[in-house]
Amino acid sequence: MLRTYETIYVTNPESTQENLDAVDAKLKGFVTSSGGEIGHEETWGVRNLTFPLKKQSKGKYNYILYTADTNVIKDIGFYLKISEFVLTFLTVKVKDTADLASVVRPDVKNLN
């Protein structure tokens, strides 16, 4: 059964764009291989972290909204956990009845 999820992951700001694109491509591959679809994705830019993660005080925030099978979420979590470019991540299930077009996206401008 496909459900709607959103994942926020923080990458090392010193990583090259090719490395970050590889992480993005891998996540999209997990989603599309399960028959899911990408609804929306954003890069929120480099921001200060509340506390250092893996000796980094800043991180590049990325947001992705998608539908996927529940088994794929485990694979995505495992991949993000072992990736050397990802500092931390959070995946949240959106309401079961929500479709990609109806999900309210976070207002990044007010996060500062």
Q: For position 107, what pLDDT does the model report?
A: 63
Tell me which residue of 25, 5, 21 sits closest to 74, measured CA to CA. 5
Assign a CATH topology to domain 2-98: Alpha-Beta Plaits (3.30.70)
3-state SS assignment for residue 2: strand
pTM: 0.82
Q: For position 22, what pLDDT does the model report?
A: 92
- Mean pLDDT, consecutive 10-residue stretches, the chain (112 aa), reads 90 91 92 89 90 89 91 92 94 75 62 53
Domain residue extents for the chain:
2-98
